[in-house]
Structure 1
Amino acid sequence: MAKSFNIEAITPSGVTFSTTAEFLKLRTVNGDIGIMADHMPLVTELSYGEMIVKQEKGEEVRYYIDGGFMEVNKERVLILGDEIIESSQIDIERAQREKEVEESKLSKLKEEEDIARANKKIQENLMKIKIGSR
């Protein structure tokens, strides 16, 4: 049996979840990372994407995470996320509508910064749809 560790995930609206897990996988700005018990101390910036928490009994819980920071130390893994949504709570229809709105804006935008922002929102909503559809 794998050794477990504590994870606490917090967003601006409060604690999203607090659990014990055997494995954590999420996306940093430098790529995907896996965390297990006794991982070396780490502080890193998070990107948007899928976060997978493998709990003690082997059950995997999937989340959409939209940026933030993670601190790993010997006591716990602390995730400070801008937005964290469990896959079963993702409103796929809303994400689809938001994606379509951004796509319709895209053809009217002229500034590179605005185009980049719209493309990012489209990609974030596509990721929500993917995670929520599993």
Structure 2
Amino acid sequence: MAEAFKFELVSPERLLVSEQVESVVIPGAEGEMTVMAQHAPVMTTIKPGVVTVKAASGKEDRYVVFGGFADILPSGCTLLAESAVHVNDIDRADLARRIQDAKEDAADAKDDVARSRAEQFLAQLTTLEGALLPA
């Protein structure tokens, strides 16, 4: 059995998870990363995606996050999400609204940097939609 560590997933609305876990897979800005006990200290931004939490009991849960950042220490991990919801509670209309907003942001961008950022966020959201809500 893997060593457990403290994991917390926090959104502006509420604390979604606060428990001892074996591992957490987070959608870091540079790609997915698995966090385990005694992980080297690191801080990373989070892109829209799915966080997979494997509890010390062996139970696995998945949460959808829409950006934020994670603070990882050898003793634990705290993920502060801009918005988060359990994967079973994802709202198709909310995701469609976020995608439409991102399309409008890309179209209304004032310069190439803002347009590139908006297009990247839009691509992340559409990838997430395809993974969660197959047609």
Closer, same or farther in 2 for the Cα pair 1:98/1:34, shift >3 Å? closer
Cα shift at 1:120:
2.8
Matches of 1:67 and 1:110, distance apart in 2:
21
Q: Give the match for residue 51 of structure 2.
A: 51
What is residue 17 of structure 1 aligned with on the other side? 17
Counterpart residue type for residue 32 of structure 1: E
Q: Which amino acid aligns with 2:76?
A: R
Cα displacement (A) at 1:75: 3.1
How far does residue 97 in structure 1 lie from its aligned partner after superposition?
5.7
Question: Given the two structures, how large is their TM-score scaled by the length of structure 1?
Answer: 0.76
Give CA-to-partner distance per residue, 1:25-63, whole Å, 9 cap, x none: 011111111111111111122111111101123222111
Matching residue's letter, 2:70: M
> CA RMSD for the aligned pairs?
2.9
- Whether the 8 Å CA contact 2:65–2:83 is kept in 1: the answer is yes
TM-score normalised by L of structure 2? 0.76
- Cross-structure match for 1:131: 132
Which consecutive unaligned segments of at least 5 residues does structure 2 have?
none
Amino acid aligned to 2:128: M
CA distance in 2, matches of 1:125, 1:114: 16
Distance 1:3 1:71 in 2: 19
Query: Does residue 120 of the first structure (1) align with residue 121 of the second (2)?
Result: yes
Code of the aligned partner of 2:118: R
More divergent stretch after superposition (115-124 vs 70-79): 115-124
Misfit runs of 4+, over 3 Å: 96-99, 101-106, 109-116
**Aligned pairs, how many?**
131
